[in-house]
Amino acid sequence: MRNEDVVKGAIEITFELGLTRANTLFSHSVCPDEINHMPGDITREIYSHFGRMFSLGGLAGLPFTGLTGFKAYAAHVPD
C-alpha cells in the first residue's frame, strides 16, 4: 500500500474511535533507519495529524524500550 493510503485509513479509524489531538499521544516504534524518517513518511504524516509524537525506538516494528520508556510515554499521555 502507499503511505498516503495507510495514513488516510488510520486517520479515518481514529476519527471513528473519537481520538483527537486533545486526547491522543501518537507513539511509534519505527526503526530509526533514515529511510523510515523522510518527508512524507507514515510517522511524520500521522504526527502532522495529531500534533505530537513519542518515539519508543524500534527494531523491526517492535518497541525497543523497556519499562522506563513505557513509563515515560505514560507520563505524557493526555488525561
Confidence tier at 13 by pLDDT (50, 70, 90):
very high
Q: For residue 68, what pLDDT is reported?
A: 82
Tell me the torsion sign for CA atoms 44, 46, 47, 51.
positive
Q: Please report the pLDDT score of residue 64 as a whole number.
A: 79
C-alpha cell, 59: 527494531
pLDDT in tens, 64-73: 777 888 888 8
* Whole-number pLDDT of residue 43: 85
pLDDT digits (tens, 9 = 90+) for 19-42: 998 998 888 888 777 777 778 788
How far is residue 15 CA from its own chain's centroid? Answer: 15
Full-prediction pTM beyond 0.85?
no
User: For the chain, what are the domain ranges?
Assistant: 3-76
